[in-house]
Amino acid sequence: MSWFFFALISTMSWGFADLFYKKSSEEADRYSHLRIAVWVGLVMGVCAFALLPLAETKMSVAALVENAVKYAPASLCYIISMVIGYAGLRYLELSIVSPVQNASGGLSLIFMAVYFLTVGRISDLSEEFSSLEIVGTVLIIFGVIALAVVEQRLSRQERALAPAERKYRFGALALLFPILYCVFDTLGTSADGIILDEEVGLGLGEIDVIILYGLTFLLAGIAAWVFLWIREKKPYNPFMPGELKTKGIAACCEEFGQVFYVYAMARNPMLTAPMVASYCIVSVILSRIFLKEKLKASQYACVAAVVVGIVMMGIADGLSEA
């Protein structure tokens, strides 16, 4: 299976994860983002331990520590960005949060292009990628960034309303959450692309990375669980009625997408980054269907641009395999 289909599966999975993250978030619950982190850490940790026998390198304690240090720049940036993103969902609609966050796909592409050109991994972008891939990537980046701009304007319009008429009381100020997510996710994705690259990477296999990221997020989830216990004076039970149907499903979708994302990044990091970032389009569509968030013509235009870009990249990938 090619990088394109790995990336497409990851895109769909993370779009559904966003939907359930939003359903898990309540503005009245100041620690909802930490409860989500507990669930994601739990699911990723279980998967990491299940995959240990399949590790591509010998996973002794010393090897685990050494490899964890190698992968720390990417894993920590991802974890920070995701927890910030969970918090932002308490104050903004999913159709606003997701596009702003995923402008990171375009920024990551630029970072990785500069790095790979500098180290000699590639000599010329036009020689490395076909015209269809380049145009498709540009369309995806344009659509995601344009959608983020549209959503920012909508948020500003809401700020002009009387407080009682606002759906989210923090208004445009809440955009700080997805913007910070974008910054940390850009750093994480760029680090991932460099670490996983088959030619200039650090020699970590795909399974190894999934294990390391899962164990790191497990530690973050445990830390969140301990914090909740201290703050609320009682341990948080993630298996309470209703938690599995929202946070549990979100965490499973997250991990499912993560597995395919790692394989896509290992094969084609520069094109995978903007491609997977387009999962915000899936999030926007799902928010319209299930959360009844209204979309405007400008939003549909952005969605159409991204869809055309994905189709073009799919055609290019099919031609390259022929």
Instruction: Annotate 61-78 with DSSP letters as a single string.
Output: HHHHHHHHHHHHHHHHHH
Q: How far apart are the first and last CA of the chain?
A: 13
> Band of the pLDDT at 150, cuts 50, 70, 90?
confident
Residues in CB range of 69: below 8 A, 6 or more apart:
none
Position 5 scores a pLDDT of 93
CA distances from 124 to 19, 117, 265 (A): 39, 8, 20
Q: Is the pLDDT of residue 170 over 60?
A: no
Q: Of 214, 301, 223, whose CA–CA distance to 256 is shortest?
A: 214
Q: How confident is the model at residue 320 (pLDDT cuts 50, 70, 90)?
A: low
Count Cα atoms within 13 angstroms, Cβ side, for 270. 19
pLDDT tens-digit map of 219-245 = 999 999 999 999 999 999 999 988 999
The reported pLDDT for the residue numbered 168 is 46
Residue among 102, 106, 108, 21 nearest 290 (CA) = 21
For residue 135 the two structure tokens come to 């145009």
In this prediction, residue 158 carries a pLDDT of: 62
Pick the range with the lowest mean pLDDT from 37-51, 55-69, 112-126, 241-255: 55-69
Three-class SS of residue 89?
Answer: coil
Burial (Cβ within 10 Å: 0-12, 13-18, ≥19) of residue 87: buried
Inform me whether the pLDDT recorded for 180 exceeds 80. Answer: yes
Please count the residues of the chain: 322
| % pLDDT > 70, the chain | 87
Average pLDDT, the chain: 84
Q: pLDDT tens across 43-92, in order?
A: 999 999 999 888 766 656 777 788 888 888 899 999 999 999 898 888 77
State how far the alpha carbon of 6 is from the alpha carbons of 17, 78, 86, 244, 273, in Å. 16, 19, 25, 26, 12
Instruction: List the one residue out of 184, 187, 191 whose CA is nearest residue 71.
Output: 191
Tell me the backbone φ, ψ of residue 86, rounded to 5 degrees: -60, -40
The pLDDT of residue 260: 95
DSSP 92: S
Which residues contact residue 191 at a Cβ distance below 8 angstroms, ignoring those fewer than 6 apart? 73, 74, 77
Q: Which residues contact 273 (CB under 8 A, 6 or more apart)?
A: 105, 108, 109, 112, 189, 193, 265
- Rounded Cα gap, residues 186 and 197, in angstroms: 16
- pLDDT value at residue 215: 93
Vertex 89: Cα angle to 112 and 21 (nearest 5): 85
Please report which confidence band the pLDDT of residue 169 belongs to, taking 50, 70 and 90 as the band edges.
very low
